[in-house]
Structure 1
């Protein structure tokens, strides 16, 4: 035994057994140990997975990218636009408001196993991995609708492992927190369909001009194919590609049993009607107003632009969508068929200063230039009421003041300069009063007026009424030769409508952050007295004659079923109608961007736009007469002399005056010149207005 030890040899097994006390040593790395380790690791993994799932279930999902964008709301609190880099056109609807054909087409094309998987299509992923491995590259994907929704809502489209990991986490959370129908609804309201349309409702309106609920099988199959490549498969860009994709979608629907082959063939052969470019321009709600609000929020209220786009702000505006839609429809209908002809409309509530409607051009997708604030347009004769208000307020002229309408050479600037205006069509009316001058838009009377009261006085009043553009103190100012914007004109006419009081126009009522905290709130409107209410009322009554027989707006009077006052204006390149009711002060402009001369037809488009807008915007508002303030008197005057009428005067009319400026002398040309012993009876006469003209006469009497 010692021999074995001496030479370092191992002892025989029996000897080792004796030395060890008869016990075998266990093997260090047996199968059992490995099984124990695997079991422990599996248990740890299950615990970790359970903990992760519990964490994901309890944790809140991040704020969606679309939810981070600030939204613009109308005066009723309804969302009308989104502030984002892409100016997204989006409107969410319930799943029940989406055509079943669209739902089936989307599921068949994008995720056939949607209602069977838990967010991940394992078979699809294995199949895609095999195809990719076989092709030695990334050839096929296997994203479910839930994965796509997670990516669109919370992530970018970068191809990194970290992004894929987060996508998997958000996908799991979506499946845990929402039902399948909720996920499908969110997906269909989020997916991009091209041309700025996010969600099926916006896409349906953009492409077909109808709600998503009314989409046919053919329309649904075409739209379901667009998200695969919004530019490549857009029917507006590539009709052939869109039809090929539609055929593929229909074939897949046949495979899944959603439709028959006969239905697919019929749908493919169906002739689809898409919206025109002009109609598509109206799909985005109030885009010019949205841009204006952006400039106000950032430029005037000091909100950082990044906060506006990604801070989840809610901006409550003054916009009345009924009025806005009426404005967009009126502008589009009148400008249709006149290529390059532009237009603008601004409407303000004169009582509060709230901007109720704003259209800055004919097609926002083609031009984002907002003509509503363009200060390069001459208002023409639509500027005259500002001058006439100055004359009435100063007491230097009254509604009965007369000037001779005839070709006249005017001298001004201490007789160093001359000015010789002409009437449109060289039509001259002889001796006329202010009512006739306003109705017929007489230029000779207007220049006589501004030379009587002084151009500086007119400019001073214009500034107070809201004209901020430079005004030149020359006689031609009376004819509107100093450029102003439609916004300025609507603002200034609001003063006349509001009985001589000015309320600063505004578009934003309140701004709240993503948590509902108020960041800004507009103060209560403050009315500033600009002129006496009596002077504003007298001018209003005179401006009503523009829409009566002989007035320049008479051709559209039949379309307006309520009291309205206004003034037309026409230059070689610009056409205007600025007017008001007690509820709205509205300026309409029509012209060409390049200063192209207006033809006769184009120069007559402003008035119909005004008429259509006013009547539609106030369709549900009962007609109101303009309230008559104190210090207004109405007397019968002789039409020929402008003096108080006698029973012998053959032509008498009831006229309004600021108290103290009415004629004191009776007409002596048709009688003895003595004051009549009894009041003159009201003379009945036919007017182009119907019921409210009678109401107006009753009120005056």
Structure 2
């Protein structure tokens, strides 16, 4: 009986084996079929947008790329594989993926070897990611360690291998990998570390850079030079092992003294960083775009920035402050005709300080504020360009004689009886305080508000001397009103925002002009402000550097130096000072003017000089500079002065006449701009001959 049972069991075994075999074959076939279906699916399915493609880009007014908005302020530039040094390619493959050209995206042997080592050490001490896997991770995935992410990484790796050639994958990898300090891709890294193109890297430089991606912070030569050199040695040894170089070449490369870019040189590679931050703030806080949408929404942001003007601004600041220690500067330039911001420099070194001084509201503008007051005086009709005050030490009484104020002129220099042109040119404080007491501080504040000044202002006599802090941005905005014939246009930086498909998400409204004062008042003030750059003016020392009609005003306090000025095309504010309020010495207090001059000429070098447009309601008459009355034939000195029609003098000068028939006025049909224009043209011609 027992035999029969055993015999029965033996008879069933072959059937079980056949059943097991069938199940195994079926499972295998199903697995192969499923794998085939998966491969077909992966091949036909498009890869998702990469993080690079999803990053938003910032463009200049002419369509040039300014920056990329992404996590960590990504800075990248793509190049072809043929534009990358062969040394760098060999160093990367020898270190990161020696079997790159032999595997299909996954290094099975490497994975097995890594698994064995990790099990032996009971911890993860060795990885086996191929370049394709790293590329898939960098392009499409976060760096969280989950099974879902690993499965997606495997799928994207397979898709990359199916859809692209090895050369394409290697090129994408070298353009995407992170090399530290915000540099993505080998071209950007080569520029940042060595100031050269990727194609020009030698063996030593290539080995240094190829070792950085393993740990961009730990192996950065800027952070840990010893770690970087140790890593370079490992890379060179790997290249020897693969036969790419000899041991002698490796030793020579290791001993080579490398020349790295300085912090200032690295900062120069970043285009308009303060403007970029300013636009980011506008897009998120004013236009309502989400921060995540800005970094990963593939937005295309078109701005008003002129890269030529921006470069001129950065160079002008650098030329005056490159060796000035902690001395800071700000420059902002606005097109007064449409409000578009053309250039913006928020500081001397973005890597040291990201604080944007263009919008700092803690700086006193000093005498550069005076034109705002004088515009109020001219527009009110209470004063003209011929109005006179005595420049002498004066104790002023105000607030119903309950308070006194005793301003001083710089250097104790007093000029006696002077008119508005002389007061502006020499920056006379006594004349300025007389003016604000004559027209009222409240009226000056009202005018400043209309011109774009939003900072708090105190209605006291010292307001005339610029004691209320105002930002450079506000000053450039206010002076743009004077340049634009008395009309204000709200400053803008963003023209349009689209998605990656070109769909318009935001369009800046058409600029609207608001008339602040009559064109004649703005024109008269412009003519007076041109005197700042003429003989006797506080900006005369840079007059030879400016070869076009320009008007402006200097401003100097113990801690701040300003020059705010304009042409018909640009209204520009320049500030120089210390963050901690350190007192400026004489040399430092004179740096704003040359920055303004250098910027203005370079930014407009391709623009022919233009005169300021002359409104119809402007008249010009010859006056006696002593009395301010109409000049006669007996007046020994006469000057042609501009007035708003109806405010010109009507009384003739009698100080120099004899007891003969009444004097006749000197006829003139010439407008002052023509004389000024001829002087500007003559000066431009003489300077160009000297050049």
TM-score under structure 2 length normalisation? 0.91
- The structural deviation recorded for 1:605 is 1.7
| Partner in structure 1 of residue 232 of structure 2 | 246
Q: After TM superposition, give the deviation of residue 179 of structure 1 in Å.
A: 2.5
User: Which residue is 1:433 aligned to?
Assistant: 419
Q: 1:167 aligns with which of 153, 156, 175?
A: 153
Deviates more, 1:87-96 or 1:238-247: 87-96
Alignment pair present for 1:370 and 2:356: yes
Counterpart of 1:675 in structure 2 is: 664
TM-aligned CA deviation for residue 269 of structure 1: 3.3
| Secondary structure class of the residue paired with 2:512 | coil
**Pairing 1:650–2:636 present:** yes
Residues 231-257 of structure 1, C-alpha deviations (whole Å, 9 max, x = no match): 111111112222222233233334434
SS in 1 for 2:362: coil
Q: Which residue of 2 aligns with 1:123?
A: 109
Helix, strand or coil at the partner of 1:567 = strand
Q: State the SS of the aligned residue for 1:29.
A: helix
User: Structure 1 residues 558, 183: closer, same or farther in 2, change over 3 A?
Assistant: farther
Report if aligned partners of 1:201, 1:212 keep a CA contact under 8 Å in 2: yes
Matches of residues 7-86 of structure 1 in structure 2 within 5 Å? 28-29=14-15, 35-86=21-72
SS across alignment from 2:470: coil
1:579 and 1:59 map into 2 onto residues whose CA distance is: 59
For each residue in 1:394-440, what CA deviation from the matched residue of structure 2 results, as whole angstroms up to 9, or x when unmatched? 22222222222111111222222211111111111222221121111
Residues 89-143 of structure 1: CA deviation (Å, up to 9, x unaligned): 2333333443343333322322233233321223333333343344343221121
Q: Post-superposition shift, 1:52?
A: 0.7
Which of residues 178, 190, 206 is equivalent to 1:220? 206
1:114 counterpart = 2:100: yes
- Determine if the alignment matches structure 1 residue 92 to structure 2 residue 82: no
When the two chains are superposed, the root-mean-square deviation of aligned CA atoms in Å is 3.0
CA distance in 1 between partners of 2:344 and 2:646 (Å): 41
Residues 442-478 of structure 1: CA deviation (Å, up to 9, x unaligned): 1111111111211111111100000011111111111
Match of 1:482 in 2: 468
Is the counterpart of residue 553 in structure 1 residue 539 in structure 2? yes
**C-alpha contact 2:179 2:213 (8 A) present in aligned 1:** yes
In the TM superposition, what are the counterparts of 1:275-424 in structure 2 within 5 Å? Answer: 275-424=261-410
Equivalent position of 2:429 in the other structure: 443
User: More deviation in 292-301 or 347-356?
Assistant: 292-301
C-alpha distance after superposition, 1:613-669 (max 9, x if no partner): 222222322222222222122333333333333444333333222222223334333
Aligned partner of residue 61 in structure 1, secondary structure:
coil
- Secondary structure (helix, strand or coil) at the match of 2:450 reads helix
Displacement of 1:509 after TM fit? 1.3
Greater shift, 555-564 or 481-490, is seen at 555-564
The answer to whether 1:521 aligns with 2:510 is no
The verdict on how the C-alpha distance between 1:51 and 1:679 changes in structure 2, with shifts beyond 3 A counting, is closer
1:568-607 equivalent positions in 2, closer than 5 A: 568-607=554-593
Which structure has the larger Rg over C-alpha atoms? 1
CA–CA distance in 2 between the matches of 1:686 and 1:166? 72
Identify the match of residue 101 of structure 1 among 61, 82, 87.
87
For the residues of structure 2 that align with 1:549 and 1:500, how far apart are their CA atoms? 27
Offset at 1:686?
A: 12
CA contact (8 A) 2:564 2:572 kept: yes
Separation in 2, partners of 1:535, 1:682: 15
Alignment coverage as a number of residue pairs:
681
Q: CA deviation at 1:290?
A: 2.2
Contact kept? 1:548, 1:689, Cα under 8 Å? no
Q: CA deviation at 1:608?
A: 2.0
Contact 2:620/2:670 (<8 A) preserved:
no
Q: Is the 8 A contact 2:547 2:684 kept in 1?
A: no
Q: Which residue of 2 aligns with 1:204?
A: 190
Q: Deviations over 1:336-378 (max 9, x none)?
A: 2222222211111111111122222223333222221111111
CA–CA distance in 1 between the matches of 2:276 and 2:670? 55
Give the Å deviation of 1:612: 2.1
Q: Structure 1 CA distance, aligned partners of 2:147 and 2:3?
A: 58
CA offsets, 1:209-243, max 9 Å, x none?
33434433332222221111111111111122222
How far residue 523 of structure 1 moved from its aligned partner, in angstroms, is 0.6
Residues 10 and 490 of structure 1, relative CA distance in 2, 3 Å threshold:
closer
Question: For structure 1, which segment, 348-357 or 337-346, has the greater mean C-alpha deviation from structure 2 after superposition?
Answer: 337-346
Pick aligned residue for 1:627 from 613, 619, 640: 613
Q: 1:454 matched to which residue of 2?
A: 440
Deviation at 1:499, TM superposition (A): 0.7
Larger mean CA deviation between 42-51 and 377-386 belongs to 42-51
2:518 to 518, 532, 535: 532
Which has the larger displacement, 302-311 or 343-352?
A: 302-311
Whether the 8 Å contact between 2:347 and 2:357 is mirrored in structure 1 is yes
Partner in structure 2 of residue 184 of structure 1? 170
Structure 1 pair 492/636, CA: closer, same or farther in 2 (3 Å)?
A: same
Moved more, 440-449 or 333-342: 333-342
> Where does structure 1 lack aligned partners over 5 or more consecutive residues?
1-6, 17-23, 697-701
Between the aligned partners of 1:413 and 1:198, the Cα distance in structure 2 is 63
Gaps of 5+ in 2: 687-691
Provide, for residues 578-608 of structure 1, a one-character-per-residue CA deviation record: whole Å limited to 9, x for no partner.
1111111111111222222122222122122
CA contact (8 A) 1:382 1:480 kept: yes
Instruction: Answer whether contact 1:548 1:688 (CA < 8 A) is retained.
Output: no
SS of the aligned residue for 2:587 comes to helix
Any conservation in 1 of the 2:60–2:307 contact (CA below 8 Å)? yes
- Name whichever of 72-81 and 518-527 sits farther off: 72-81
